[in-house]
């Protein structure tokens, strides 16, 4: 039987299959991402409980209730609104220079901005008000990537590149699905409704700073750092896959025959056959007939952990069925 030549369509199919395989591998980078992702809800809940404690010391609930009463009674009263971001400060000391350029320690309010919204800034000083959608992309990666036309890894894949239609297309699709900027729909509403407090004062969090202890301030600083660590774990994991895919694409480009690409795939732990590649669509997904697809879906239900021997036997049976479907 003559060897099948490797064309660009087959290269793309195999490359797509390999990328999916690499994303599913239980690597150190993926474990770090998964472990940190599992901690995020509890991490945010604990930080929010602390923030609520600090805020309620400054704005007691009975005062908030009174403010709502007055605002609802009088049309010209507008003094209370819900908020999810705050400026907290404590009295500390910083080094300054006197007239003789000698160092001296002076008392100063140490202040920073803490934003609990889904797209809230992770880094920034007391004057910052910026959006960081990378946190939502990392946290809801699976949900975003399950949507057609979305890609939660797009900012990582396009890092260092100027704004372009490819980047903008996926960002717009991601944001439309996630709705992190919105308070009336989607994940943005679910998240922002959970982390919201009624505060007395003007509308924006930058218009007020609330006093806290140094220990409380440091705990909130740690919360922001952990969120940043999670976002970076997503970046490190995806970059490790992109680095591998770069080498794989170079190899695929140099191969002349399909069996060479199949051998590379098998060596990397992804067992595929030429029959699978020939009978797949452009994304590398096998086109099953209805009976085979139904059998595979039924087999996914109530599954118990299979032995290695059982997995090998199923794989051999699948490959035989794939070969028969081609003939």
**Mean of the per-residue pLDDT values of the chain:** 85
The pLDDT assigned to 194 comes to: 93
Q: For 214-240, what is the mean pLDDT?
A: 96
The pLDDT assigned to 124 comes to: 47
Give the range among 36-50, 128-142, 151-165 with minimum mean pLDDT.
128-142
Give the range among 74-83, 168-177, 283-292 with minimum mean pLDDT.
283-292
pLDDT at 128 over 50: no
User: The tokens of 238 are what?
Assistant: 């995806």
Across the strands, what pairs with 106?
A: 94
- Quick one: pLDDT band at residue 49, thresholds 50, 70, 90? very high
- Quick one: pLDDT band at residue 304, thresholds 50, 70, 90? low
CA distances from 244 to 7, 18, 32, 204, 250 (A): 21, 10, 18, 45, 10
- Quick one: pLDDT band at residue 132, thresholds 50, 70, 90? confident
Q: For 13-37, what is the mean pLDDT?
A: 94
pLDDT at 327 over 60: no
User: For residue 201, what is the DSSP state?
Assistant: S
Distance CA 105, CA 112 (A): 20
Distance CA 196, CA 199 (A): 9
Distance CA 116, CA 86 (A): 9
pLDDT at 130 over 60: no
Nearest to 55 by CA among 92, 29, 83, 15: 83
Long-range CB contacts (within 8 A, 24+) of 129-134: 129/85, 129/206, 131/180, 131/181, 132/231, 133/171, 133/174, 133/175, 133/178, 133/180, 134/231, 134/234, 134/235
- Quick one: pLDDT band at residue 301, thresholds 50, 70, 90? low
Alpha helices in the chain (DSSP H): 8-24, 28-58, 61-73, 134-139, 141-145, 154-157, 165-178, 186-194, 214-254, 258-267, 274-278, 290-299, 308-326
Across the strands, what pairs with 110?
A: 90
- Quick one: pLDDT band at residue 232, thresholds 50, 70, 90? very high
Per residue in 61-103, pLDDT (tens digit) is 999 999 999 999 999 888 888 889 899 999 988 888 888 888 8
Higher pLDDT, 62 or 282: 62
- Quick one: pLDDT band at residue 5, thresholds 50, 70, 90? very high
With contact defined as beta carbons under 8 Å apart, do 7 and 234 qualify? no
pTM above 0.85, yes or no: no
Give the range among 65-79, 105-119, 303-317 with minimum mean pLDDT.
303-317
């Amino acid at each position: 039987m003559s060897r099948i030549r490797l064309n660009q369509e087959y290269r793309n199919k195999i490359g797509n299959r390999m990328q999916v395989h690499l994303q599913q591998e239980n690597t150190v980078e993926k474990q770090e991402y998964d472990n940190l992702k599992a901690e995020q809800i509890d991490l945010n809940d604990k930080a929010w409980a602390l923030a609520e404690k600090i805020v309620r010391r400054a704005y007691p609930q009975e005062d908030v209730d009174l403010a709502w009463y007055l605002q609802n009674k009088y049309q010209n009263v507008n003094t209370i609104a819900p908020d999810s971001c705050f400026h907290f400060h404590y009295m500390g000391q910083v080094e300054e220079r006197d007239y003789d350029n000698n160092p001296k320690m002076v008392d100063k309010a140490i202040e920073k901005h803490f934003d609990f919204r889904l797209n809230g800034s992770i880094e920034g000083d007391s004057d910052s008000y910026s959006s960081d959608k990378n946190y939502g992309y990392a946290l809801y990666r699976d949900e975003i990537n399950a949507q057609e036309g979305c890609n939660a890894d797009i900012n990582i894949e396009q890092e260092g590149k100027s704004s372009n239609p490819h980047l903008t297309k996926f960002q717009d699709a991601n944001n439309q699905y996630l709705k992190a900027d919105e308070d009336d729909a989607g994940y943005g509403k679910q998240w922002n409704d959970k982390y919201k407090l009624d505060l007395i004062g003007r509308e924006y969090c930058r218009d007020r700073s609330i006093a806290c202890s140094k220990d409380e301030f440091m705990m909130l600083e740690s919360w922001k750092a952990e969120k940043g660590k999670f976002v970076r774990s997503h970046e490190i994991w995806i970059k490790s896959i992109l680095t591998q895919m770069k080498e794989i694409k170079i190899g695929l480009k140099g191969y002349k025959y399909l069996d060479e690409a199949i051998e590379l795939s098998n060596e990397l732990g992804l067992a595929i056959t030429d029959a699978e590649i020939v009978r797949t669509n452009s994304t590398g997904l096998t086109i099953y007939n209805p009976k085979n697809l139904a059998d595979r879906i039924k087999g996914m239900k109530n599954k118990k952990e299979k032995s290695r021997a059982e997995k090998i036997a199923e794989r051999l049976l699948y490959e035989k069925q794939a070969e028969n479907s081609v003939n």
